Structure 1
């Protein structure tokens, strides 16, 4: 316990002695943490946008007029067992007509044509939503090979297939780009933090040699540098959190004007605890890891 306290004390002393270098380290880490936070927010916002788009994409299955509502409900019950299906909504002929009339109420030609027909020409249907855009093709195959396939009048999957495939392609590209960018960023962050810690530790090379001569243990030598890294990371996380909150407060309304529905500040406030934990873990973890690597590799402790 005494050794641990001494390590903490030496770490704090080293932090104060190298105040200029510590401030430079904190500044660099604030930038790094801000980039990490921005990437996290961008990824989460992108996921929300994709989910919103996916919510608007569905697949409708229309049934023959002779197929009763009870039979369609049995089909709905059967399809609800398919794991790729998120939700199924039954739309009766009357409901379909009501929606159609509402949508085309200002089109006199269509409304007059409906009156001339004299009866409801629309079909009852099931509107199906998948969990992911990539799952619609499998759902369509299940329906085509089902026992009720002969009672299907039309399935609009073929019409919506290009839009669904485009959505799937966009989603896959976004996720792929996010993974690649995250990997590159992580490597850059580690290199910058590593070199910063290396320079800081090099200034204490004489002191380390002295501690070796008097028989100090490896952990006693490493410990203060790890504490310094943790202090820098902790302070950098606090500063980044304050700056990020202020920046989002002013920038978010302007972003929402360009992209309606994208509320960065609202999402940030809803998840502020998780985001701060990510910032704190990034700062402290980065500070400790870079210090540990610099001590281990360059000072051969």
Structure 2
């Protein structure tokens, strides 16, 4: 059994060398196809990742009335500093809600600073006492689906001025994220199917060009399994060689794109899939697809020549 495997292995390597131009054509076809698969898979997987990040970044903004100092332990009253009896009433009510993961205080000064960084110096006219913004609590929920429920309950808390959760835009965002995840998988499956079709047809051409060789082997009494073995290994080698260059391209190109694009995403709490995770997975995927499709393509293409 082992000796037969090595015999088939050496025979397939000789055939690859003997049919040089057809081997180059088949490897080139596999290489181009897998490069396209890698390109589209990179876009699809990262788009799905960003959609999930955006979905998870949807928060409930709870704005506090200006006459309520919910985050201050002491307040000024009639010229004296006294204990604030209403300290953390809104905060405690938010923390007690079902579905709430974390509550973070954001002062109107912090929000004003972020606003001027985003909108420019024109907004600096509202510095100091002219600041029109409100203190707020940023509420993170356990799951994105908890956002509407938490927002509705937060509106009922005494001392709350306004609650924002994105409204219809948030719902559309959830629907978009779901759409990308579902159709991303469908498109990825379609790309793999196209790769199977293209690679199988290319390998079929190489086998057709050697149909005379197969007929001679059948005439001398070789069994179908013996004839098929070297061709299956040839297909696997073609897939292996065809996956090498796309894997190298993924390594270099993805690192460059990640370094240049991810900088602008970090500030928005978004991120592409990290190279140390994505590159090994994509490399393994390309080699597995290449080897599998190459072997299967050879097996399918040989069926017509092995019929009695």
TM-score between both structures, scaled by the size of structure 2: 0.72
State whether residues 61 and 164 of structure 2, in contact with CA within 8 Å, keep that contact through their aligned partners in structure 1. yes
State whether residues 200 and 298 of structure 2, in contact with CA within 8 Å, keep that contact through their aligned partners in structure 1. yes
Give unpaired runs (5+ residues) of structure 1: 116-120
Partner of 1:127: 139
Partner of 1:140: 148
Q: Which runs of 4 or more aligned residues in structure 1 lie more than 6 Å from their structure 2 counterparts after TM superposition?
A: none
Aligned: 1:6 with 2:7:
yes
Q: CA deviation at 1:26?
A: 0.4
Q: Cα–Cα, structure 1 residues 102 and 157, in superposed 2: closer, same or farther, change >3 Å? A: closer
String of CA shifts for 1:146-197, please: whole Å, max 9, x gaps: 9x94547355346x11331332243234334423432332232122112112
1:84-99 matches, within 5 Å, as 87-91=101-105, 95-99=106-110
Partner of 1:46: 47
State the distance in 2 between where 1:198 and 1:277 align. Answer: 25
How many residues are aligned here? 280
RMSD: 3.9
Q: Cα–Cα, structure 1 residues 75 and 289, in superposed 2: closer, same or farther, change >3 Å? A: farther
State whether residues 101 and 111 of structure 1, in contact with CA within 8 Å, keep that contact through their aligned partners in structure 2. no
State the distance in 1 between where 2:260 and 2:125 align. Answer: 40
State the distance in 2 between where 1:54 and 1:73 align. Answer: 24
Q: CA deviation at 1:225?
A: 0.8
Partner of 2:227: 221
DSSP-derived class of the 2:140 partner: strand
Partner of 2:303: 296
Partner of 1:179: 185
TM-score between both structures, scaled by the size of structure 1: 0.73
Q: CA deviation at 1:198?
A: 1.6
State the distance in 2 between where 1:50 and 1:265 align. Answer: 10
Partner of 1:118: none
State the distance in 2 between where 1:141 and 1:275 align. Answer: 39
Give unpaired runs (5+ residues) of structure 2: 71-85, 117-122
Q: Cα–Cα, structure 1 residues 131 and 145, in superposed 2: closer, same or farther, change >3 Å? A: closer
Structure 2 residue aligned with 1:166, among 145, 161, 172? 172
